[in-house]
Structure 1
């Protein structure tokens, strides 16, 4: 095992907090992507289309 000295608790808590933040951000991004996809599908179902899908260059 690693000898982290007298600050071992702080180091492990810091690693845990960083891992928690990374996982939380990934889950948030995944959930937001799903929500945006549902909203987009609803708009397309109602007949609204994406401007970027028209094939015309937007200058």
Structure 2
């Protein structure tokens, strides 16, 4: 199933691995940031409702 990469196998496979890790990190940071911002917005809305 996997093509023969010859002498470039290490470079190609390590590039794939680094790319996958970086994409996973971007997704994780995006989800983490979205949760943080959502919590901040909920706090602001709660304060606004209590004051007004």
Q: Normalising to structure 1: TM-score of the pair?
A: 0.76
Paired position in structure 1 for 2:8: 7
Could you list the per-position Cα deviations for residues 1-56 of structure 1 after superposition, in whole angstroms to 9, with x for gaps in the alignment?
A: 421010101100000000111110000000000000000000010017xxxxxxxx
Higher relative contact order (CA 8 A, sep 6+): 2
Q: Tell whether 2:19 aligns with 1:18.
A: yes
Q: Which consecutive unaligned segments of at least 5 residues does structure 2 have?
A: none
Q: Provide the aligned C-alpha RMSD in A.
A: 1.2
Q: Distance in 2 between matches of 1:29 and 1:3?
A: 36
Aligned structure 1 segments of 4 or more residues deviating by more than 6 angstroms? none
- State the number of aligned residues: 48
Gapped regions of structure 1 (runs ≥ 5): 49-59
